[in-house]
Structure 1
Amino acid sequence: MEYEHFSHNHTLTLSRIQPGQQFQCHGCNLRCHDSIFACWNCNFFLHEHCGIANRYTNHPSHLLHPLVLVPSPTYCSGSFLCNGCSAPGNAFFYCCALSEVDLHVHCAYLPHKVSHNAHQHELCLSFEKTNVSNALDYCKICMKEMSFRNLSYFCGKPECDFLGSYLLCY
């Protein structure tokens, strides 16, 4: 299958990675696995899910404007700070330039509900910036200090006191 992607000048081909082959995705900078969109002339590779990510998305954490998929940061630093997880990024990301909201692609597509063996109830992704104890607490799974100013998982049961967990711990 051939594919035209907005971030690359050449046609990409959907290919299966063979055992022993290693490629890095230009969309998220992570190692590729399974299927990739490839430009073999330029050694340009995208995970299949990075290649088919929507160009525009309406994200529950930012309902004011649609977020636009941008192939690389346009900031003078050459990187962005994700409003979802607070980690820097320098590859594809969703951006609202009007509101200065930036999200890694994987943060934009986190599941809204998850189960975790550390808690008996379903955990729900929170899009609210809260002021729980000055917005600082500890992840209930890894016990590291965390800020609830970003996306995090909370118990979906109102009567439960499980305040939250890091995105990476779900």
Structure 2
Amino acid sequence: SGPQRIDLITKWLAMAETIRHGSHDHQLQHIGTMDTSVRAVNCRACDLPFKSENVDLFGCRSCGFFLHRSCCFMPTSLKNPAHPQHQLQLRYTPAYNDGIFSCYICGNSGKGFNYGCQACRFDAHVPCVNLPSKARSPAHQHRLQLLFRPPAMGGTSCGFCGLQIHYCCYSCSPCSFLLHP
């Protein structure tokens, strides 16, 4: 009873620490603390690095496939103001033969998870669809509004770095102030 019960509890805990994710053939193990080999790779979903030693992630060590916990449980579809016509579907790989997509929101290319609309050939990085619609910045005194394209009138350079803005930006219309996300 005692040892069998402990064995049963141990197996249950091990199962609770393992998930099946549609993006990978193997089960993903919960990894509590990272070793240096994991720290050297990026999340396969959002392509952001694993920055701290106590980051919450799931992975397959044998394949070198790792995901932030939050990226494991992303919605399979969502509405986004950048593409209000249709729901965006989560894709584990780009829908194109070359394996690369161009993000409509930031303009950069990507090769990992993305949200897209097949009918419209709309694609966006996971972090880009999660940009807040309003933000504050130490670079400007007013609250800023997310725009998916810079305004046609006025300057199109970033008020912080001075570089041109071609895609999404944060804006303060009364001040004609723009900022890269």
Indicate the TM-score class for this superposition, using the shorter chain for normalisation.
0.7 to 0.9
| Aligned position for 1:154 | 171
More helix by share: 2
| TM-score normalised according to structure 2 size | 0.79
CA distance in structure 2 between the partners assigned to 1:165 and 1:58 by the alignment: 24
Give the equivalent residue in structure 2 for 1:143. 162
Q: Which of the pair is proportionally richer in strand?
A: 1
For residues 44 and 108 of structure 1, the distance between their equivalents in structure 2, rounded to whole angstroms, comes to 23
* Secondary structure at 2:84 match in 1: strand
Unaligned runs of 5+ in 1: none
**CA-based RMSD:** 2.0
The one-letter amino acid of 2:163's match is K
| Residue 26 (structure 1) aligns with | 44
Equivalent-residue separation in structure 2 for 1:95 and 1:78 (angstroms): 14
1:13-162 matches, within 5 Å, as 13-18=29-34, 20-21=36-37, 22=39, 23-33=41-51, 34-127=55-148, 130-132=151-153, 137-147=156-166, 150-155=167-172, 160-162=174-176
Cα distance, 1:74 vs structure 2 = 2.5
Contact 1:32 1:46 in 2 (8 A): no
Which amino acid counterpart does residue 108 of structure 2 have in structure 1? A
Q: CA deviation at 1:6?
A: 1.4
**TM-score, length of structure 1 as denominator length:** 0.83
Task: Using the aligned pairs only, state the percent identity.
Answer: 31
Which residue in 2 is equivalent to 1:5? 21
- Shift in Å at residue 116 of structure 1? 0.7
Q: Counterparts of 2:35 and 2:27 in 1: how far apart (Å)?
A: 24
CA–CA distance in structure 2, aligned partners of residues 88 and 109 of structure 1: 17
Aligned residues: 160
Q: Does the alignment pair 1:165 with 2:176?
A: no
CA deviations on 1:72-113 (whole Å, 9 max, x unpaired) are: 113133211111110111111111111111110000111222
Write the distance in 2 (CA, Å) between the matches of 1:94 and 1:79.
13
- Give the Cα separation in 1 of the matches to 2:73 and 2:22: 11
The CA deviation string for residues 131-166 of structure 1, in whole angstroms up to 9 with x for no partner, is: 235xx711111111112xx321112xx5x2234211
Give the secondary structure class of the aligned counterpart of 1:132.
Answer: coil
Does the C-alpha gap of structure 1 residues 96 and 129 become closer, same or farther in structure 2, counting only changes over 3 Å?
A: farther
What stretches of structure 2 of length at least 5 have no aligned partner?
1-16
SS of the residue corresponding to residue 59 of structure 1 reads coil
More divergent stretch after superposition (16-25 vs 89-98): 16-25
